[in-house]
Chain A
Amino acid sequence: MKSSAKFVAFTGILAALAVVLSLLENLLPPIPGMPPGAKLGLSNIVSMYAAGCVGFFPAMTVALAKGLFAFLTRGVTAGLMSTAGGLFSTLIVWLLLKKLRFGLLGASAAGALAHNAAQLMIACLLTSSAVLYYAPILVLLGTASGTLTGLVLGVLLPPLEKLQRR
Protein backbone atom coordinates (compact mmCIF):
# COMPACT_ATOMS: atom_id res chain seq x y z
CA MET A 1 0.00 0.00 0.00
CA LYS A 2 1.98 2.93 -1.24
CA SER A 3 -0.43 5.75 -2.00
CA SER A 4 -1.40 7.78 1.05
CA ALA A 5 -4.89 8.42 -0.34
CA LYS A 6 -5.43 4.71 -0.59
CA PHE A 7 -4.10 4.33 2.94
CA VAL A 8 -6.53 6.89 4.34
CA ALA A 9 -9.40 5.37 2.44
CA PHE A 10 -8.52 1.94 3.76
CA THR A 11 -8.43 3.23 7.31
CA GLY A 12 -11.86 4.78 6.77
CA ILE A 13 -13.26 1.49 5.51
CA LEU A 14 -11.87 -0.29 8.55
CA ALA A 15 -13.39 2.33 10.89
CA ALA A 16 -16.75 1.96 9.16
CA LEU A 17 -16.53 -1.80 9.44
CA ALA A 18 -15.74 -1.57 13.17
CA VAL A 19 -18.68 0.77 13.73
CA VAL A 20 -21.05 -1.54 11.83
CA LEU A 21 -19.86 -4.55 13.80
CA SER A 22 -20.32 -2.81 17.15
CA LEU A 23 -23.74 -1.64 15.98
CA LEU A 24 -24.66 -5.22 15.11
CA GLU A 25 -23.44 -6.35 18.46
CA ASN A 26 -25.63 -3.83 20.25
CA LEU A 27 -28.62 -5.31 18.47
CA LEU A 28 -27.98 -8.67 20.10
CA PRO A 29 -30.03 -9.16 23.25
CA PRO A 30 -28.00 -8.83 26.47
CA ILE A 31 -26.86 -12.14 27.89
CA PRO A 32 -28.99 -12.83 30.98
CA GLY A 33 -27.17 -13.01 34.28
CA MET A 34 -24.16 -11.19 32.88
CA PRO A 35 -22.95 -7.87 34.22
CA PRO A 36 -23.68 -4.79 32.12
CA GLY A 37 -20.93 -4.15 29.60
CA ALA A 38 -20.10 -7.80 29.04
CA LYS A 39 -19.92 -8.12 25.27
CA LEU A 40 -18.60 -10.36 22.55
CA GLY A 41 -16.30 -7.69 21.14
CA LEU A 42 -16.85 -8.40 17.44
CA SER A 43 -15.43 -5.07 16.38
CA ASN A 44 -12.19 -5.91 18.18
CA ILE A 45 -11.43 -8.15 15.21
CA VAL A 46 -11.13 -5.04 13.06
CA SER A 47 -9.08 -3.18 15.66
CA MET A 48 -6.66 -6.09 15.90
CA TYR A 49 -6.33 -6.41 12.19
CA ALA A 50 -5.63 -2.69 11.95
CA ALA A 51 -3.05 -2.83 14.74
CA GLY A 52 -1.31 -5.86 13.30
CA CYS A 53 -1.40 -5.33 9.55
CA VAL A 54 -1.99 -1.63 8.92
CA GLY A 55 -0.26 0.39 11.60
CA PHE A 56 -0.44 2.02 14.96
CA PHE A 57 -2.14 5.28 13.96
CA PRO A 58 -4.78 3.77 11.68
CA ALA A 59 -5.62 1.35 14.50
CA MET A 60 -6.01 4.20 16.98
CA THR A 61 -8.17 6.02 14.43
CA VAL A 62 -10.46 3.03 14.22
CA ALA A 63 -10.74 2.97 18.03
CA LEU A 64 -11.53 6.70 18.11
CA ALA A 65 -14.18 6.32 15.42
CA LYS A 66 -15.84 3.56 17.41
CA GLY A 67 -15.74 5.72 20.53
CA LEU A 68 -17.18 8.70 18.70
CA PHE A 69 -19.98 6.54 17.34
CA ALA A 70 -20.82 5.23 20.81
CA PHE A 71 -20.71 8.81 22.07
CA LEU A 72 -23.25 9.91 19.43
CA THR A 73 -25.61 6.98 19.71
CA ARG A 74 -25.42 5.90 23.33
CA GLY A 75 -24.43 8.99 25.29
CA VAL A 76 -21.48 10.40 27.16
CA THR A 77 -20.91 7.51 29.56
CA ALA A 78 -20.92 4.83 26.87
CA GLY A 79 -18.78 7.07 24.64
CA LEU A 80 -16.15 7.61 27.29
CA MET A 81 -16.08 3.94 28.20
CA SER A 82 -15.82 2.84 24.58
CA THR A 83 -13.09 5.36 23.73
CA ALA A 84 -10.97 4.53 26.76
CA GLY A 85 -11.43 0.79 26.24
CA GLY A 86 -10.71 0.97 22.51
CA LEU A 87 -7.60 3.12 22.76
CA PHE A 88 -6.08 1.15 25.62
CA SER A 89 -6.77 -2.23 24.09
CA THR A 90 -5.45 -1.15 20.69
CA LEU A 91 -2.27 0.06 22.37
CA ILE A 92 -1.83 -3.24 24.18
CA VAL A 93 -2.56 -5.32 21.07
CA TRP A 94 -0.13 -3.32 18.98
CA LEU A 95 2.53 -3.60 21.67
CA LEU A 96 2.11 -7.34 22.14
CA LEU A 97 1.67 -8.24 18.49
CA LYS A 98 4.19 -5.96 16.81
CA LYS A 99 6.76 -5.24 19.48
CA LEU A 100 6.80 -8.19 21.83
CA ARG A 101 5.81 -10.72 19.16
CA PHE A 102 3.09 -12.50 21.07
CA GLY A 103 0.79 -14.90 19.22
CA LEU A 104 -2.67 -13.91 18.05
CA LEU A 105 -4.42 -15.63 20.94
CA GLY A 106 -2.29 -13.97 23.60
CA ALA A 107 -2.44 -10.52 22.06
CA SER A 108 -6.16 -10.79 21.48
CA ALA A 109 -6.90 -11.95 25.03
CA ALA A 110 -4.69 -9.21 26.45
CA GLY A 111 -6.46 -6.68 24.24
CA ALA A 112 -9.88 -7.77 25.51
CA LEU A 113 -8.66 -7.63 29.10
CA ALA A 114 -7.24 -4.15 28.55
CA HIS A 115 -10.56 -3.09 27.02
CA ASN A 116 -12.49 -4.31 30.05
CA ALA A 117 -9.99 -2.86 32.49
CA ALA A 118 -10.18 0.62 30.95
CA GLN A 119 -13.98 0.48 30.80
CA LEU A 120 -14.18 -0.62 34.41
CA MET A 121 -11.92 2.22 35.51
CA ILE A 122 -14.13 4.76 33.74
CA ALA A 123 -17.28 3.18 35.21
CA CYS A 124 -15.60 3.27 38.59
CA LEU A 125 -14.83 6.97 38.26
CA LEU A 126 -18.26 7.88 36.90
CA THR A 127 -20.46 5.79 39.16
CA SER A 128 -19.18 4.06 42.28
CA SER A 129 -16.36 1.72 43.03
CA ALA A 130 -19.01 -0.94 43.63
CA VAL A 131 -18.74 -1.89 39.94
CA LEU A 132 -15.34 -3.39 40.73
CA TYR A 133 -17.34 -6.22 42.17
CA TYR A 134 -17.72 -7.45 38.60
CA ALA A 135 -13.99 -7.36 37.91
CA PRO A 136 -13.27 -11.09 38.21
CA ILE A 137 -16.24 -11.99 35.98
CA LEU A 138 -15.09 -9.46 33.43
CA VAL A 139 -11.59 -10.94 33.50
CA LEU A 140 -12.96 -14.39 32.70
CA LEU A 141 -15.35 -13.11 30.04
CA GLY A 142 -12.66 -10.90 28.52
CA THR A 143 -10.22 -13.80 28.27
CA ALA A 144 -12.87 -15.98 26.65
CA SER A 145 -14.06 -13.40 24.13
CA GLY A 146 -10.47 -12.35 23.44
CA THR A 147 -9.48 -15.92 22.70
CA LEU A 148 -12.47 -16.21 20.38
CA THR A 149 -11.46 -13.05 18.53
CA GLY A 150 -7.94 -14.42 18.23
CA LEU A 151 -9.23 -17.65 16.71
CA VAL A 152 -11.39 -15.78 14.21
CA LEU A 153 -8.41 -13.67 13.24
CA GLY A 154 -6.31 -16.78 12.82
CA VAL A 155 -8.74 -17.90 10.14
CA LEU A 156 -9.27 -14.49 8.54
CA LEU A 157 -5.74 -13.13 8.48
CA PRO A 158 -4.06 -15.26 5.77
CA PRO A 159 -6.58 -14.35 3.00
CA LEU A 160 -6.67 -10.72 4.19
CA GLU A 161 -2.90 -10.42 4.06
CA LYS A 162 -2.94 -11.89 0.59
CA LEU A 163 -5.49 -9.29 -0.41
CA GLN A 164 -3.44 -6.49 1.09
CA ARG A 165 -0.31 -7.48 -0.75
CA ARG A 166 -1.88 -6.88 -4.15
Chain B
Amino acid sequence: MKSQFPLFRKRDILVFLVAAVLAIAGFLQWIPKSGTPVAVIEQNGKEIRRVELSSITQPETIVLEGEISVTVLLEPGQVSIVHSDCPDQICVNTGALTRPGQSAVCLPARVSVRIVGENNSGIDGMTG
Protein backbone atom coordinates (compact mmCIF):
# COMPACT_ATOMS: atom_id res chain seq x y z
CA MET B 1 0.00 0.00 0.00
CA LYS B 2 1.48 3.33 -1.05
CA SER B 3 0.80 6.62 0.68
CA GLN B 4 -0.84 9.45 -1.24
CA PHE B 5 2.27 11.48 -0.35
CA PRO B 6 5.52 10.45 -2.00
CA LEU B 7 8.53 10.56 0.32
CA PHE B 8 10.55 12.63 -2.08
CA ARG B 9 9.83 14.70 -5.15
CA LYS B 10 12.33 16.59 -7.22
CA ARG B 11 10.96 19.94 -6.12
CA ASP B 12 11.93 19.08 -2.53
CA ILE B 13 15.44 19.97 -3.58
CA LEU B 14 14.27 23.59 -3.59
CA VAL B 15 13.70 23.47 0.16
CA PHE B 16 17.15 22.10 0.84
CA LEU B 17 18.65 24.60 -1.55
CA VAL B 18 16.99 27.45 0.29
CA ALA B 19 18.16 26.01 3.62
CA ALA B 20 21.72 25.70 2.36
CA VAL B 21 21.82 29.27 1.08
CA LEU B 22 20.29 30.59 4.31
CA ALA B 23 22.83 28.68 6.41
CA ILE B 24 25.74 29.88 4.31
CA ALA B 25 24.48 33.46 4.39
CA GLY B 26 24.10 33.19 8.16
CA PHE B 27 27.55 31.78 8.71
CA LEU B 28 29.04 34.45 6.49
CA GLN B 29 27.78 36.97 9.03
CA TRP B 30 30.03 35.39 11.62
CA ILE B 31 33.10 36.43 9.70
CA PRO B 32 33.92 39.95 10.87
CA LYS B 33 33.51 42.38 8.05
CA SER B 34 36.75 44.01 7.07
CA GLY B 35 34.86 47.05 5.86
CA THR B 36 36.62 50.09 4.54
CA PRO B 37 38.47 52.00 7.26
CA VAL B 38 37.56 55.66 7.34
CA ALA B 39 39.74 58.34 8.93
CA VAL B 40 37.81 60.92 10.93
CA ILE B 41 39.51 64.17 11.89
CA GLU B 42 37.84 66.26 14.56
CA GLN B 43 38.68 69.60 16.13
CA ASN B 44 36.81 70.84 19.20
CA GLY B 45 34.36 67.98 18.75
CA LYS B 46 33.49 69.12 15.24
CA GLU B 47 34.18 66.91 12.29
CA ILE B 48 36.68 68.53 9.96
CA ARG B 49 37.25 65.75 7.50
CA ARG B 50 36.14 62.18 6.84
CA VAL B 51 38.01 60.20 4.24
CA GLU B 52 38.23 56.56 3.22
CA LEU B 53 41.80 55.42 3.77
CA SER B 54 41.81 53.28 0.67
CA SER B 55 40.73 56.19 -1.51
CA ILE B 56 43.84 58.22 -0.74
CA THR B 57 46.31 58.06 -3.56
CA GLN B 58 48.54 61.04 -2.84
CA PRO B 59 49.87 62.27 0.48
CA GLU B 60 47.94 65.27 1.71
CA THR B 61 48.60 67.52 4.69
CA ILE B 62 45.80 69.20 6.59
CA VAL B 63 46.74 72.09 8.85
CA LEU B 64 44.27 72.70 11.66
CA GLU B 65 44.73 76.29 12.77
CA GLY B 66 44.02 77.31 16.31
CA GLU B 67 45.72 78.42 19.48
CA ILE B 68 47.69 75.26 19.03
CA SER B 69 48.12 74.30 15.41
CA VAL B 70 48.13 70.68 14.41
CA THR B 71 49.18 69.16 11.11
CA VAL B 72 47.61 65.92 9.98
CA LEU B 73 49.11 63.85 7.19
CA LEU B 74 46.88 61.63 5.07
CA GLU B 75 48.73 58.97 3.15
CA PRO B 76 47.57 55.94 1.18
CA GLY B 77 46.27 53.53 3.81
CA GLN B 78 47.29 55.55 6.84
CA VAL B 79 46.89 58.80 8.72
CA SER B 80 49.07 60.48 11.33
CA ILE B 81 49.52 63.68 13.29
CA VAL B 82 52.91 64.87 12.07
CA HIS B 83 53.17 68.19 13.84
CA SER B 84 51.64 69.88 16.85
CA ASP B 85 52.54 73.00 18.78
CA CYS B 86 51.53 71.25 22.00
CA PRO B 87 54.13 70.73 24.71
CA ASP B 88 53.72 67.01 25.27
CA GLN B 89 53.80 65.73 21.65
CA ILE B 90 51.87 62.59 22.62
CA CYS B 91 49.79 62.87 19.48
CA VAL B 92 52.87 63.00 17.25
CA ASN B 93 54.47 60.12 19.13
CA THR B 94 51.39 57.98 18.58
CA GLY B 95 52.59 57.45 15.03
CA ALA B 96 50.60 56.35 12.03
CA LEU B 97 47.10 54.92 12.32
CA THR B 98 46.13 52.17 9.92
CA ARG B 99 43.30 50.16 11.49
CA PRO B 100 39.80 50.80 12.83
CA GLY B 101 39.81 51.51 16.55
CA GLN B 102 43.11 53.35 16.55
CA SER B 103 43.23 57.02 17.45
CA ALA B 104 45.69 59.84 17.95
CA VAL B 105 44.60 62.64 20.22
CA CYS B 106 46.12 66.06 20.85
CA LEU B 107 44.52 67.11 24.09
CA PRO B 108 45.79 70.69 24.30
CA ALA B 109 44.61 71.39 20.77
CA ARG B 110 41.43 69.36 21.16
CA VAL B 111 42.16 67.57 17.94
CA SER B 112 41.47 63.92 17.42
CA VAL B 113 42.19 61.63 14.51
CA ARG B 114 40.65 58.21 14.60
CA ILE B 115 39.86 55.39 12.26
CA VAL B 116 36.34 54.06 12.25
CA GLY B 117 34.96 51.04 10.49
CA GLU B 118 34.20 47.48 11.41
CA ASN B 119 36.69 46.83 14.18
CA ASN B 120 38.42 43.57 13.40
CA SER B 121 41.63 44.27 15.27
CA GLY B 122 40.17 42.53 18.32
CA ILE B 123 40.96 45.59 20.43
CA ASP B 124 38.07 47.34 22.21
CA GLY B 125 39.96 50.06 24.02
CA MET B 126 43.34 51.45 24.97
CA THR B 127 44.90 52.45 28.27
CA GLY B 128 47.93 54.60 28.80
* Pair B3/A161 contact, Cβ less than 8 Å: yes
Q: Does B14 contact A (CB under 8 A)?
A: yes
Q: A136-B30, A150-B7, A157-B5 are in contact. Are A106 and B23 (CB under 8 A)?
A: no
- The residue that B16 contacts in the complex, of A109, A137, A151, with Cβ under 8 A, is A109
* Pair A109/B30 contact, Cβ less than 8 Å: no
* Pair B1/A158 contact, Cβ less than 8 Å: yes
Closest to A140 in B: B23
Q: A102-B9, A103-B12, A106-B14 are in contact. Are A158 and B19 (CB under 8 A)?
A: no
> A58: shortest Cβ distance to chain B, in Å?
17
- The residue that B15 contacts in the complex, of A106, A136, A151, with Cβ under 8 A, is A106
* Pair A139/B26 contact, Cβ less than 8 Å: yes
Contacts of A142 in B (CB 8 A): 19
* Pair B23/A136 contact, Cβ less than 8 Å: yes
Q: Which of A89-118 contact B (CB under 8 A)?
A: 96-97, 100-107, 109-110, 113
- The residue that A103 contacts in the complex, of B6, B25, B27, B30, with Cβ under 8 A, is B6
Chain A positions 71 through 101: 1 when the CB is less than 8 Å from some CB of chain B, otherwise 0: 0000000000000000000000000110011
* Pair A102/B12 contact, Cβ less than 8 Å: yes
* Pair A103/B1 contact, Cβ less than 8 Å: no
Contacts of B9 in A (CB 8 A): 101-103, 106
Contacts of B6 in A (CB 8 A): 103-104
Q: Does B44 contact A (CB under 8 A)?
A: no
Q: Which of A128-166 contact B (CB under 8 A)?
A: 133, 135-137, 139-140, 142-143, 150-151, 154, 157-159, 161-162
Contacts of B27 in A (CB 8 A): 136
Contacts of A151 in B (CB 8 A): 7
Contacts of B8 in A (CB 8 A): 103-106
* Pair A106/B16 contact, Cβ less than 8 Å: yes
Closest to A96 in B: B15
Q: Does A52 contact B (CB under 8 A)?
A: yes
Contacts of A158 in B (CB 8 A): 1-3
Q: Does B22 contact A (CB under 8 A)?
A: yes
> B18: shortest Cβ distance to chain A, in Å?
8
Bound-complex Cα distance A110 to B27 (A): 19
B contacts, CB < 8 Å to A: 1-9, 11-16, 18-19, 22-27, 29-30
